[in-house]
Structure 1
């Protein structure tokens, strides 16, 4: 049909076409042409999937990023940011123990 959707979105096209229409429009809006370069959007999604503890998403998105020309350094930096944000969340929460 149109774009290369993740498998968990693509399956909806046959199983629930109405939901697929809604989800695919949202995907196209977020990941389609816009102010950010496509590679940057994929790297942001990679960081979010790492933060959300999605091994399959991290593997898939890192492959996609590489196919789009992302370097190993760009991927590493993206994942460092995800790690830093998740660590800061823990520090923010644990600081309540010292109030």
Structure 2
């Protein structure tokens, strides 16, 4: 199998910004989910009417809820799905990086 380095370079330029954007979004989402868990746990611990087990459960539920929203936000663009007519050398790449195709269209070498 021969690798065309011109196509590889063009693909990296084309999809590199979206990969960085997705990683940054996931990192910020991970931090915010932890902050949400700490906030909910602190608020529910402040009221002495809630059982500590329920407090931990609702805090974890808040954390994973935020992570689910962030994960959906990373993948939910209509442009994030690969097209069948894609000339890319690896059309099965992660859907997180396909959004750049619409924003920065370039022609790939034949």
TM-score bracket, normalised by the shorter chain, equals: 0.3 to 0.5
TM-score between both structures, scaled by the size of structure 2:
0.32
Which has a greater percent of helix? 1
Higher relative contact order (CA 8 A, sep 6+): 2
TM-score between both structures, scaled by the size of structure 1:
0.35
Rg comparison, structure with higher value: 2
